[in-house]
């Protein structure tokens, strides 16, 4: 992993800069600058109070936090969100409460997501009539085998093929 310099602007003077919890972490935590309560199945677009300028050839991806996902069923509707290098607006996080029963409450300053900055390639698309062959060809969507999906009426699970 290498370091890259990224310009950042605070739109809210009290907001902390995104922080990596440990050396070597890929994700820097983002906080919400507002309180929010999401009922089961609800979503919200939460402001983070920061804007960045990425160098050309980079993008930032807004990823869910696994702790929020495991404990509360919270994820991001568009995971991972894509922040383009040219985007200068406020980074926002589209959270969703997937829990079927419990509401979730966010308070200003809570860490709601993490930002992963990566080098990206842009493609030059070359249109062709036929694509070159490959071992996988057009196999996909479970073509390599079944998996167990537990049905509500079947504790043993159901073999999907």
Binding-site sequence positions for substrate: 65-67, 78, 82-84
Residue corresponding to tokens 């930002």: 115
Interface size with ligand DUT, residues (CB under 6 A): 10
Give the shortest CB-43-to-ligand DUT separation in angstroms: 12
Eight-state DSSP code of residue 133: P
* Contact pattern for ligand DUT over residues 33 through 62, marking x by CB under 6 A: -----------------------------x
* Distance, CA of 160 to CA of 151 (rounded, Å): 11
> Taking the mean position of all CA atoms in its chain, how far away is CA 48?
14
Give the shortest CB-102-to-ligand DUT separation in angstroms: 24
CA atoms within 13 A on the CB side of 65: 17
* Distance, CA of 75 to CA of 31 (rounded, Å): 14
**91 lies in the site for ligand DUT, by CB under 6 A:** yes
Give the shortest CB-142-to-ligand DUT separation in angstroms: 28
Task: Name the site residues for ligand DUT (rule: CB under 6 A).
Answer: 62, 78, 81-84, 87, 91-92, 94
């Amino acid at each position: 992993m290498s370091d890259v310099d990224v310009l950042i602007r605070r739109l809210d003077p009290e907001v902390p800069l995104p922080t990596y919890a440990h050396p070597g972490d890929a994700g820097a935590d983002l906080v919400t600058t507002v309180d929010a309560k999401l009922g089961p199945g609800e979503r919200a677009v939460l402001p983070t109070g920061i804007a960045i300028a990425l160098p050309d050839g980079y993008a930032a991806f807004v990823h869910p936090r696994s702790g929020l996902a495991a404990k509360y069923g919270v994820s991001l509707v568009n995971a991972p969100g894509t922040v383009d290098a040219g985007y200068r607006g406020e980074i926002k996080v589209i959270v969703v409460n997937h829990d079927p029963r419990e509401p979730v409450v966010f308070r200003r300053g809570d860490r709601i997501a993490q930002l992963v900055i990566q080098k990206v390639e842009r493609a030059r698309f070359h249109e062709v009539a036929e694509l070159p062959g490959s071992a996988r060809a057009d196999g996909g969507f479970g073509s390599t085998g079944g998996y167990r999906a537990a049905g509500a009426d079947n504790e043993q699970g159901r073999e999907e093929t």
